[in-house]
């Protein structure tokens, strides 16, 4: 199971601190999801060796403008292992679920964002994962949390009906906000998810990272088509 | 009052909770209990909170790390785990709480999961080309940066 994290300068802890803490809590990997204007440089292989946990290079595109989002998408797709678009408005949600190049539509119910049956179907068709963001359940109170829970419930009902792929995250900005998989499961169950849904969502990050690594590798040409041993130069 | 016959007494589980926060924060049994009740009430509601009956029996805390022993009703262990996970702030300081393990007796819980301490030392390191004060615990570093803290490790300064 993987967790997604905002490392410095987007968050308050470095990638290695997240890795150290997540490893101690029983995660198999972390996906770095820094905002495009607060990206971070790190040596994923060295951190992997030091703490025994996979580190995935990801980026989260945050903008309300479709054409800018499209520009970022073009430049980040070949550079990052996981490319996410943060939802939060109808226009950007729609753009994300209809783009094959987007891996994850992050927090689609945030602020003015909404998902309906049309977007849920589009997400399935284009293989865009919808994110269940547990951050407000873990760290907000009162009205903000109630609205977030309403959003999660609506999203869950759509996911159960139309079966688009989905991911789950606790979305921490500091290692102090990390919660273990088992605790996320307990929190998920307390707000209406099943244990299986939370575990599937946390594991989906790994499948996503593995698929994209394969696609980014030099041997990859198209799904099912790879450069084999007969293609070597003589 | 005369105590209950054995088969009517509540069944308890004892939860060992690890606590981590920034070096200058303070966590006491009272402040943790307060936040835990708030968290339980907000997540589970009054009835759920009363059912789980979360009681902090002891807290040992120093230099930004500590541990606590929490008693819950056996049937509501998973609710308790969820409520504990929702404690994210104690005395206005962000905290990380994590369930280390669960036992059926206080003694087993203490022996198995509590009583571990790593030395915290104050040191000075170079991070992002600036000298920083840091609290070090093994490979982990809490760096003092302009009025707040940054979580890092030895790996970041080498």
At A45-101, the pLDDT tens digits run 999 999 999 999 999 999 999 999 999 999 999 999 999 999 989 999 999 999 999
ipTM of the complex: 0.93
Q: B4 lies in a domain? A: no
**Would you call B151 and A176 a contact, using CB atoms and an 8 Å cutoff?**
yes
Whether A176 and B150 lie within 8 Å, measured CB to CB: no
Q: Provide, as residue numbers in chain B, all residues whose Cβ is less than 8 Å from the Cβ of A141.
A: 42
A-B C-beta contacts closer than 8 Å = 91
Q: Are residues B94 and B71 in the same domain?
A: yes
Is B56 inside a domain boundary?
yes
Is the domain covering A58-233 a CATH 3.20.20.140 domain? Answer: yes
Segment B34-78, tens digit of pLDDT: 999 999 999 999 999 999 999 999 999 999 999 999 999 999 999
Q: Classify residue B99: in a domain, yes or no.
A: yes
Same domain, B76 and B125: no
Task: Output the CA torsion sign for A69, A144, A120, A117.
Answer: negative
Give the HSE-up count for residue A10: Cα atoms under 13 Å, Cβ half-sphere: 24
Q: Is residue B2 part of a domain?
A: no
Q: What CA–CA distances, in Å, run from B93 to B16, B22, B27, B42, B83?
A: 21, 8, 9, 19, 18
Token pair 């000075």 in the structure block, residue: B124
Q: Is the model's pLDDT at A234 over the cut of 60?
A: no
Specify whether B108 is located in the same domain as B30.
yes
Q: Give the domain ranges of chain A.
A: 58-233
The structural domain count of chain B equals: 2
B122: how many CB neighbours lie within 10 A of its CB?
Answer: 11
What residues make up the domain containing B89?
A: 9-113
User: Shortest Cα distance from B107 to chain A (angstroms)?
Assistant: 24
Q: Best interface-test mutation with A: which of B64, B92, B151, B152 has the largest number of A CBs within 10 A? A: B151
User: Is A13 in Cβ contact with B151 (below 8 Å)?
Assistant: yes
Tokens of B20: 């981590």
Nearest to B151 among A137, A174, A187 (CB): A174
Q: Rounded distance, CA B60 to CA B53, Å?
A: 21
The answer on B136 and B63 residing in a single domain is: no
Q: Is the pLDDT of residue B144 over 70?
A: yes
B133 shares a domain with B91: no
Determine the residue of chain A that is closest to B93 in CA distance.
Answer: A176
**Preferred mutation among B154, B155, B158 to probe A, highest tally of A CBs within 10 A:** B155
- B chain contacts of residue A14, beta-carbon cutoff 8 Å: 150-153, 156
* Min distance B8 CA to chain A CA atoms (Å): 27
The answer to whether residues B61 and B29 belong to one domain is yes
Q: Length of chain B in residues, anyone? A: 158
User: Is B1 contained in some domain?
Assistant: no
For residues B67 and B84, membership in a common domain is answered with: yes
Q: Residues of B with CB below 8 A from A12's CB?
A: 148-151
Q: How many residues does chain A have?
A: 234
CATH number for the domain that contains residue B72? 3.30.70.3250
Is the pLDDT confidence value at B147 over 90? no
Q: How far apart are CA A39 and CA A8, in angstroms?
A: 8
If you measure CA to CA, which chain A residue comes closest to B156? A16
Co-location of B135 and B108 in the same domain: no
Per the domain annotation, does B60 fall within a domain?
yes
Of all helices (H) and strands (E), which one includes residue B134? Answer: strand B130-137
* Residue B64 shares a structural domain with residue B140: no
In this structure, are B56 and B105 located in the same domain?
yes
> Which tens digit of pLDDT belongs to each residue from A156-190?
999 999 999 999 999 999 999 999 999 999 999 99
What confidence category does residue A230 fall into, taking pLDDT thresholds of 50, 70 and 90?
low
pLDDT-based confidence at residue A232 (cuts at 50, 70, 90): low
pTM of the model: 0.93
Say what the pLDDT of residue B70 is. 97
State the Cα–Cα distance between residues B158 and B153, nearest whole angstrom: 9
Mutual angle of helices A117-126 and A142-162, in 10-degree steps: 60
As to burial, measured by CB atoms within 10 angstroms (0-12 exposed, 13-18 middle, 19+ buried), residue A33 is buried
Q: Tokens for A143?
A: 């009205």
Say yes or no: B104 and B147 in one domain: no
């Amino acid at each position: 199971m993987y967790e997604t994290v905002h490392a410095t300068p987007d968050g308050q802890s470095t990638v290695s601190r997240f890795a150290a803490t997540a490893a101690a809590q029983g995660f198999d990997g972390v996906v770095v999801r820094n905002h495009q204007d607060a990206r971070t440089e790190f040596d994923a292989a060295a951190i992997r060796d030091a703490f025994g946990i996979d580190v995935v290079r990801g980026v989260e595109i945050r903008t309300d403008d479709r054409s800018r989002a499209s520009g970022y998408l073009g430049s980040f797709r070949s550079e990052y292992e996981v490319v996410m678009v943060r939802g939060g408005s109808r226009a950007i949600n729609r753009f994300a679920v209809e783009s094959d190049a987007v891996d994850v539509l992050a927090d689609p119910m945030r602020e003015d964002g909404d998902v309906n049956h049309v977007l849920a179907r589009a997400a399935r068709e284009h293989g865009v994962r919808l994110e269940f963001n547990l951050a407000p359940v873990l760290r907000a109170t009162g009205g903000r949390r109630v609205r977030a829970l309403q959003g999660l419930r609506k999203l869950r009902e759509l996911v159960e009906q139309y079966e688009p792929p989905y991911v789950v995250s606790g979305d921490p900005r500091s290692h102090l906000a990390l919660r273990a998989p088992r605790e996320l499961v307990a929190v998920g169950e307390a707000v209406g998810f099943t244990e299986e849904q939370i575990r599937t969502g946390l594991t989906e990050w790994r499948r996503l990272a593995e698929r994209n690594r394969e696609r980014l590798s030099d041997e990859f040409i198209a799904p099912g088509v790879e450069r084999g041993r007969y293609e070597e130069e003589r | 009052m005369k105590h209950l016959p054995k088969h009517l007494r509540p069944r308890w589980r004892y939860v060992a909770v690890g606590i981590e926060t920034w070096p200058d924060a303070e966590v006491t049994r009272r402040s943790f209990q307060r936040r835990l009740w708030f968290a339980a009430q907000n997540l589970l509601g009054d009835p759920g909170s009363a059912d789980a009956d979360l009681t902090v029996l002891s807290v040992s805390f120093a230099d930004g790390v500590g541990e606590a022993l929490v008693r819950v009703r056996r049937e509501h262990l998973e609710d308790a785990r969820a409520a504990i996970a929702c404690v994210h702030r104690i005395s206005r300081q962000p905290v990380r709480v994590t369930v280390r393990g669960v036992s059926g007796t206080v003694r087993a819980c203490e022996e198995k999961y509590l009583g571990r301490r790593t030395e915290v030392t104050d040191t000075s390191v170079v991070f992002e080309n600036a000298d920083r004060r840091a609290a070090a615990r093994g490979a982990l570093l809490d760096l003092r940066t302009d009025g707040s803290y940054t979580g890092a490790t030895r790996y970041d300064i080498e």
